[in-house]
Amino acid sequence: MASRTVTIASSVGLHARPAALFVEAATNTGLDVEISKDGDEPVDATSILGVMALGATHGEEVTLTAEGDGADEALDSLVALLSRDLDAE
């Protein structure tokens, strides 16, 4: 299982538009991707409700995990996405 840790760059955290963009990108990987905050249970990264309920705010670290062929590349692209202020674009 591949894993990456990233700091949320979006000024509003993973809420509304940034969450929707992240969920779409996670879904497009075709892999089982999960996201979690330190100490919390991971949630399905393809679930908008799960991602928003995570409550990840600007500057918080989250951990992404994925399993399957291409997991490392998929996580690298998701990390790059979360490293940008998606609400400013």
Q: Helix 17-28 vs helix 71-82: angle between axes, to the nearest 10 degrees?
A: 170
Token digits of residue 25: 């990108």
Q: What is the pLDDT of residue 89?
A: 66
DSSP reduced 3-state for 69: coil
Q: Assess contact for 66 and 75: CB atoms under 8 A.
A: yes
The residues annotated as belonging to the active site are: 15
Q: What is the pLDDT of residue 58?
A: 96
Q: What is the pLDDT of residue 78?
A: 98
Q: What is the pLDDT of residue 39?
A: 83
Q: What is the DSSP letter of 15?
A: S
E-strand ranges in the chain read 2-7, 32-37, 43-44, 61-67
* φ, ψ for residue 72, nearest 5 deg: -60, -45
Domains and CATH numbers, the chain: 2-82 (3.30.1340.10)
Residue pLDDT tens, the chain, 89 long: 999 999 999 999 999 899 999 999 999 999 999 999 998 999 999 999 999 999 999 999 999 999 999 999 999 999 999 999 988 76
What's the pTM? 0.94
